[in-house]
Amino acid sequence: MNVSGWFEAVASCSSATTNSRSQALSLHPAASHRENLTSSSFKPPTPRPGHLPNMVVYAVLILNKAGGLIYQRDFNPGLQKLSSNDYLILAGTFHGVHAITSQISPTNETSSSGLEVLESENFVMRCFQTLTGTKFLIFAEPRQQNLDVVVRRVYELYADYVMKNPFYQIEMPIRSEGFDRHLNSYIKPHQ
């Protein structure tokens, strides 16, 4: 995607978000008033929950704290298909690499967050590790901005529709219809 195309996408998305936001906050008259004031001035394009800018996300992977793969889902074609066994190996390998990268920080800081972004010619991968050690991996088209926003939103959906589900056993593979549905409507809203 070229730069002008990106700005167009951002502009269309930011106008859409202001609309949806003022609707959501319409219960609070003071808040909607404030929204009207700011919408005329320039706003940095920050995607809101429930809205994703035109962004191609290839896949989402979730790893538990032992390095086991508990969720894997492809959203758009672009990544090579692997067998389920290979996905498990990939997850375990990444877990190991992440552990190494968090140890070999060149500065003297005791805690490093480890590997966060991996960029290649064909994709960019963003990793987010929660405080409990669960890792969220997002694979997307190269040169994507705001992937950290996406990964946090996925974390939010995980906290809502997986962790609050009484039928989910912790650290086990995720089979939650609500999570699937909401993730799909967040990542592929127009398809």
Partner 1 sequence: MNRDPSPFRTASTASTATSPTPKYANLTASTNLRYSLTRKSIYDRHLNRTKTSELSKSAFAFLFGEMVQYAQKKVYGVQDLEKKLNLHGYAVGQRFLELLLWRDGRTAKRETRILGILQFISHQLYRAIFQKQADTLEKVRENEDEYMISDNDPVVNTYISVPKEMSQLNCGAFIAGIIEAVLDGHCFPAKVTAHTAPNELWPGRTVFLIKFEPEVLEREALRVGS
Question: How many whole angstroms separate alpha carbon 92 and alpha carbon 48?
Answer: 32
Residue-level length of the chain: 191
Minimum distance between the CB of residue 47 and partner 1, rounded to whole angstroms?
A: 22
Q: Pseudo-torsion of CA 185, 178, 161, 156, nearest 10°?
A: 0
Binding mask 127-166 for partner 1 (x = CB under 8 A): ---------------------------------xx--xxx
Binding mask 170-189 for partner 1 (x = CB under 8 A): -----xxxxx-x--------
Minimum distance between the CB of residue 19 and partner 1, rounded to whole angstroms?
A: 21
* Neighbour-count burial for 122-140, b at 16+ CB within 10 Å, e otherwise: ebbbbbbbeeeebbbbbbb
Binding mask 1-30 for partner 1 (x = CB under 8 A): ------------------------------
* Neighbour-count burial for 89-111, b at 16+ CB within 10 Å, e otherwise: ebbeebbeebeeeeeeeeeeeee
CA–CA distance from 163 to each of 26, 103, 141, 168 (Å)? 30, 29, 29, 7
**Which parts of 46-65 interact with partner 1 (CB under 8 A)?**
none
Minimum distance between the CB of residue 50 and partner 1, rounded to whole angstroms?
A: 15
Q: Which is nearer to partner 1, 55 or 70 (CB)?
A: 70
Residue count, binding to partner 1 (CB under 8 A)? 12
By CB under 8 A, residue 77 contacts partner 1: no
Q: Which is nearer to partner 1, 96 or 173 (CB)?
A: 173
Minimum distance between the CB of residue 158 and partner 1, rounded to whole angstroms?
A: 11
- Closest by CA to 124, choosing from 155, 145, 96, is 145
Q: Which tokens belong to 68?
A: 């086991």
Helix (H) or strand (E) holding 15: helix 3-24
Minimum distance between the CB of residue 167 and partner 1, rounded to whole angstroms?
A: 5
Please report, as ranges, the residues that interact with partner 1 according to CB under 8 A. Answer: 160-161, 164-167, 175-179, 181
